[in-house]
Structure 1
Amino acid sequence: MKKRIVLSWSGGKDGCLALHTLIEQGYEVVSLVTTVPKELGRTFGHGERTEMIRLQSEALSIPVHFIECTFERYTDQFIQDLQLLKDQYQITGIAYGDLYLEGHREWGEKVADAAGIEALYPLWMDQEEALDSLENFVNSDYKAIVIRVREDVLDESWLGRIIDKSFVQDIQQTKSCPMGESGEYHTYVFNGPLFSKKIQLEQGELIQLETTKKLEFKSYRLV
């Protein structure tokens, strides 16, 4: 019998690579888990609109569970919702797409332990392996677009770029981790082997935030 788990999901390439890896390893991912600030209706991770995550959920045929929380009660609410999901789906664990940041892993293991389930890190690696991981994504046939950049590392010309071989070459010329592990850039996956439909994105608009710039699409649909 397959182990039933949930996957922490922000919509980007790392989570998607983690999902693919987990399924290859024989896990059954019964739900995607995404945190959203109560008052904004956007994801905590990338500031993405919840409807964009719902499109991915539908294309992947995996339900999404939104954890509505405030910054102050983020951890407590996360644990509480994991306990609910444990009862609802009989899950044994939660997986994360983190690569090498120890602080992120410590937090993830702490909340999983508090909920009485296992924490899984299918992509965990040494920092030096990040470039190999980016190349693996490019070769995976998943399609992702850059939707957010940290202005102190990357300028707005990176917004809207597809994660492809030219991206791999160019990102090595910057101070960014090749995978953007410290938030240098964020992506949105819109197609790939596990997608039953492609997400068509059109009319991108640049939005200026405090320390980042974001690409928002006015038109998006499943095709």
Structure 2
Amino acid sequence: MSWVSLFSGGKDSSWALYRAQQEGLDVERLLTVHPAGDSYMYHTPATHLARLAAESVGLPLVEVEPDDFGADDVPDAGAQGDAEIEPLEAALRDIAAEGDLTGVTAGAVESEYQTSRIEGLCDRLGIDLFAPLWQRDPETLATEMLDAGFEIRIVQVAAAGLDESWLGRTLDADALAELRALNDEYGVHILGEGGEFETFVVDGPHMDRRIELEFTTEWEGTRGHIVVEDAWLE
């Protein structure tokens, strides 16, 4: 009864992993996809940090580095999503060939685009999907993450109301209150589900050692991201 956790190191995939462990699912490894370019399916910023996170979690990491998923390579967003799922499916087929694969965990909250493709993948492989965030109230989820002891850093922003000061900021109760106000004013999703912001979990109950980051920021007028210059386990 072995499970694979689809894992970027961000808050949603980390929460799915944590909840799976709480439910007693035997998660034996993590799997990270490193898109070379923009992606409709996958978390993209700082995915190389998943290696440190996996070390802290204490699970082996499978890394998938497919070709660039640029929008020019396929005719539309739907076709791109279908193309992007292929290397993930191939990696899971290889894992299944090694022994019994029961299912995968995923951190989708509201995205039908992502979830429908992962569900299709699971159907084709004959495995289960554990998606504990799916259709949950975003603010309740955020509060549960903070109450559980997740330390979440914001690594990328791309939405009205989110300026450079948010880059590298800890997603805590004060930040959550500000996001609630930005949701009212601009429609910013409280969990960043629409790509408004991306995160990385530097510490949590599923991790043995905290991750320390040294970074600079890059701001492009309306959006920006952190540039990690060094990262290590405390």
What is the TM-score normalised by the length of structure 2? 0.84
Shift of 1:49: 4.5
Gaps of 5+ in 2: 70-79
Equivalent residues in 2 for 1:63-102 (5 A)? 63-70=60-67, 71=69, 73-102=83-112
In structure 2, which of residues 209, 213, 233 is the aligned counterpart of residue 197 of structure 1? 209
**Which of 149, 157, 162 does residue 149 from structure 1 map onto?**
157
3-state SS in 1 of match to 2:170: coil
Q: 1:39 to 1:138 in 2, by over 3 A?
A: closer
Distance (Å, rounded) in 1 between the aligned partners of 2:84 and 2:221: 21
Please say if residues 30 and 89 of structure 1, whose CA atoms lie closer than 8 Å, have aligned partners that are also in contact: no
Give the equivalent residue in structure 2 for 1:23: 21
Aligned CA RMSD, in angstroms, stands at 2.2
Q: Does 1:119 align with 2:117?
A: no
Secondary structure in 1 matching 2:24 = coil
Rounded Cα–Cα distance in structure 2 between residues aligned with 1:222 and 1:61: 12
C-alpha contact 1:7 1:94 (8 A) present in aligned 2:
yes
For the pair 1:219 / 2:202, whether they are aligned, the reply is no
User: Does the CA contact (< 8 Å) of 1:94 and 1:117 recur in 2?
Assistant: yes
Match of 1:132, SS? Answer: helix
Alpha-carbon distance change, 6 to 121 in structure 1, aligned in 2, over 3 angstroms: same
- 1:30-45 to 2 correspondences below 5 Å: 30-37=28-35, 44-45=42-43
Deviation at 1:114, TM superposition (A): 2.0
Q: Give, as a single letter, the amino acid of the residue that structure 2 aligns with 1:6.
A: V
2:5 to 7, 11, 29: 7
Residue 46 of structure 1: aligned partner: 44
1:59 and 1:147 mapped to 2: Cα distance?
19
| Mapping for residues 130-209 of structure 1, pairs under 5 Å | 130-152=138-160, 154-174=162-182, 175-202=187-214, 204-208=215-219
Q: Contact 2:122–2:128 (CA<8 Å) still a contact in 1? A: yes
Q: 1:152: how far off?
A: 4.1
Question: What letter matches 1:112 in structure 2?
Answer: C
Runs of at least 4 residues of structure 1 off by over 6 A? none
**Contact in 1 for aligned 2:109/2:135 (Cα 8 Å):** yes
Larger helix proportion, structure 1 or 2? 2
1:39 Cα deviation after fit: 8.5
**One-letter amino acid matched to 2:168:** G
User: Deviations 1:87-114 (Å, cap 9, x if unpaired)?
Assistant: 2352111111001222221111011222
Q: After superposition, give the CA deviation of every residue in 1:68-91 in whole Å (9 maximum; x if it has no partner).
A: 212264222221111111123521
Distance 1:108 1:36, change over 3 A: same
Q: Distance in 2 between matches of 1:39 and 1:135?
A: 32
Higher strand share: 1
Does the 8 Å contact 1:7/1:19 carry over to 2? yes
Tell me, what secondary structure is at the counterpart of 1:139?
helix
Give the letter for the 1:105 counterpart. T
Task: Tell me by how many angstroms 1:125 deviates.
Answer: 2.0
Structure 1 SS opposite 2:148: coil
TM-score (norm 1): 0.88
CA distance in 1, matches of 2:37, 2:117: 24
**Aligned counterparts of 2:99 and 2:51: Cα–Cα separation in 1:** 19
Query: What is the number of equivalent residue pairs in this alignment?
Result: 215
Letter in 2 for 1:221: W
Percent identity of equivalent pairs: 25
